[in-house]
């Protein structure tokens, strides 16, 4: 990392989202995400006098609902190169907020934690009144340029908060206040364009990557439970081509009995079944029947993050319920 006299050299990877979005009219609600290229964005940012040298690379320019294995792989490869490059001190990724938590968590699981990697987005497009994009970006640059940010895995900066990837969740569909929260751990730091305060020490003792990046992503659908959910809904998801299933269960990962029975049959036949909760801040602990059922409890991971972890585990050859459970116990 550069010393105090040298500016941190940061690679900025653009993927699109609202932070790169344009409405064309400051008073319009509708807008198109992924319109501004990363070079244009960095040109706009240049006059702000940030204490960092920024180099841009466009990975994609998409709404984040379209971000999946191809973009994940391109990001992983670009960041791995940056980790190995002495001329790069840290990485900032601009990303749509809708699925930022999924991409951030996947990268957190599959990258070393030796240099800062910070994901940032915006709730309002660049030309909206009160757009939050540039402030969030300046905050993200401050975090990524701080040597103290390494050893913490991938971080997500939204508003003036810094969240760990494993905890970051989008909790509001509109507005910039508290759009993201950390669960079960809150912010790990607060940041403004002028200051950064960490609340604790880095937690990744072993900074090497925890899992290999999947060569292929196994099929793992999410079953969203409702009161009285009928078995046909589950049957449609339970094709022979799936390797695992995440349940967005009611309450603490519960399901109506007929659906549960169906999943017990498949779990006992070898399908990895994870019980998560559709409740926003839902902790799902193991229950006594999970042993016999061969179910896994998602603990603090929401269904979309549970899916990411399960895909990574299966791709890394970890298909036994106890091995999967221990990964969910300390993600």
Largest CA distance in the chain: 65
If the CB atoms of residues 64 and 187 are measured against ligand SIN, the closer one turns out to be 64
Q: Is 63 in the site for ligand SIN (CB under 6 A)?
A: yes
Q: What is the smallest separation between the CB atom of 61 and ligand SIN, expressed in angstroms?
A: 10
Q: Of all residues in this chain, which one has the CB nearest to ligand SIN in the complex?
A: 96
| CA–CA separation, 115 and 149 (whole Å) | 7
Residues in the chain: 331
Q: How many residues bind ligand SIN (CB under 6 A)?
A: 10
Query: Segment near ligand SIN (CB under 6 A), from 80-88, 93-101, 254-262, 320-328?
Result: 93-101
| CA–CA separation, 226 and 178 (whole Å) | 27
| CA–CA separation, 52 and 89 (whole Å) | 10
If the CB atoms of residues 96 and 331 are measured against ligand SIN, the closer one turns out to be 96
The contact mask relative to ligand SIN for 175-214 (x = CB under 6 A, - = no) is ----------------------------------------
- Indicate if 231 belongs to the active site: no
Q: Is 98 in the site for ligand SIN (CB under 6 A)?
A: yes
Question: Which of 6, 15, 18, 55 is an active site residue?
Answer: 18
Contact yes or no for 12/24 (Cβ under 8 A): no
Query: Segment near ligand SIN (CB under 6 A), from 51-59, 91-99, 149-157, 227-235?
Result: 91-99
If the CB atoms of residues 18 and 325 are measured against ligand SIN, the closer one turns out to be 18
Q: What is the DSSP letter of 76?
A: H
Nearest alpha-carbon partner for 305 in 187, 182, 139, 194 = 182
Q: Is 97 in the site for ligand SIN (CB under 6 A)?
A: yes
Cβ neighbors of 182 (< 8 A, separation 6 or more) are 161, 163, 164, 167, 168, 169, 188
Q: Is 17 in the site for ligand SIN (CB under 6 A)?
A: yes
Runs of H (alpha helix) within the chain: 38-46, 69-84, 100-110, 133-144, 231-237, 257-268, 289-293, 303-315, 321-329
If the CB atoms of residues 52 and 100 are measured against ligand SIN, the closer one turns out to be 100
If the CB atoms of residues 175 and 258 are measured against ligand SIN, the closer one turns out to be 175
Q: Is 121 in the site for ligand SIN (CB under 6 A)?
A: yes
Query: Segment near ligand SIN (CB under 6 A), from 37-45, 92-100, 139-147, 286-294?
Result: 92-100
18-47 positions binding ligand SIN, by CB under 6 A: 18, 33
If the CB atoms of residues 17 and 331 are measured against ligand SIN, the closer one turns out to be 17
**CB neighbours of residue 172 within 10 Å:** 13
Q: What is the smallest separation between the CB atom of 21 and ligand SIN, expressed in angstroms?
A: 7
Chain-centroid distance, C-alpha 33: 18
| CA–CA separation, 302 and 276 (whole Å) | 6
Among the listed residues 45, 56, 64, 93, the single contact to ligand SIN using CB under 6 A:
64
Nearest alpha-carbon partner for 303 in 329, 330, 282 = 282
Q: How many CA atoms lie within 13 A of 58 on its CB side?
A: 15
Cβ neighbors of 229 (< 8 A, separation 6 or more) are 255, 256, 259
Query: Segment near ligand SIN (CB under 6 A), from 96-104, 140-148, 196-204, 254-262?
Result: 96-104
Using CB under 6 A as the criterion, which residues of the chain lie in contact with ligand SIN when the complex forms? 17-18, 33, 63-64, 96-98, 121, 123
Q: Which residues are catalytic?
A: 18
């Amino acid at each position: 990392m550069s010393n105090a006299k040298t500016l941190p050299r940061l690679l900025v990877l653009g993927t699109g989202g609202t932070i790169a979005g344009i409405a064309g009219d400051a008073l319009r609600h509708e807008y198109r995400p992924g319109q501004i290229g990363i070079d244009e964005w960095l040109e706009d940012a240049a006059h702000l006098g940030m204490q960092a040298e920024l180099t841009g690379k466009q990975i994609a320019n998409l709404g984040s609902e379209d971000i999946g294995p191809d973009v994940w792989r391109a990001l992983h490869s670009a960041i791995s190169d940056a980790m190995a490059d002495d001329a790069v001190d840290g990485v900032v990724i601009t990303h749509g907020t809708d699925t930022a938590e999924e991409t951030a968590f996947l990268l957190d699981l599959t990258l070393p934690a030796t240099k800062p990697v910070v994901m940032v987005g915006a709730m309002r497009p660049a030309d909206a009144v009160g757009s939050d994009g540039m402030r969030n970006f300046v905050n993200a640059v401050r975090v990524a340029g701080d040597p103290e940010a390494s050893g913490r895995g991938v971080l997500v900066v939204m508003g003036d908060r810094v969240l760990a990837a494993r905890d970051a969740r989008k909790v509001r569909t509109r507005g910039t206040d508290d759009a993201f929260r950390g669960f079960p751990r809150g912010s790990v730091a607060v940041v403004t364009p002028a200051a950064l305060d960490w609340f604790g020490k880095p937690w990744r003792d072993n900074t090497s990557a925890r899992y290999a990046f999947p060569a292929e992503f196994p099929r793992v659908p999410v079953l969203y439970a409702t009161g009285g959910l009928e078995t046909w809904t589950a049957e449609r998801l339970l094709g022979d081509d799936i390797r695992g299933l995440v349940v967005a269960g009611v309450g603490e990962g519960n399901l109506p009995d007929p659906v549960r029975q169906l999943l017990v049959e498949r779990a006992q036949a070898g399908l990895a079944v994870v019980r998560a909760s559709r409740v926003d801040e839902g902790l799902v602990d193991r229950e006594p029947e999970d042993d016999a059922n061969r179910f896994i409890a998602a603990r603090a991971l929401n269904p979309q993050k549970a899916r990411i972890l399960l895909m990574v585990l299966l791709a890394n050859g970890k298909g036994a319920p106890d091995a999967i459970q221990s990964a969910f116990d300390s993600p």
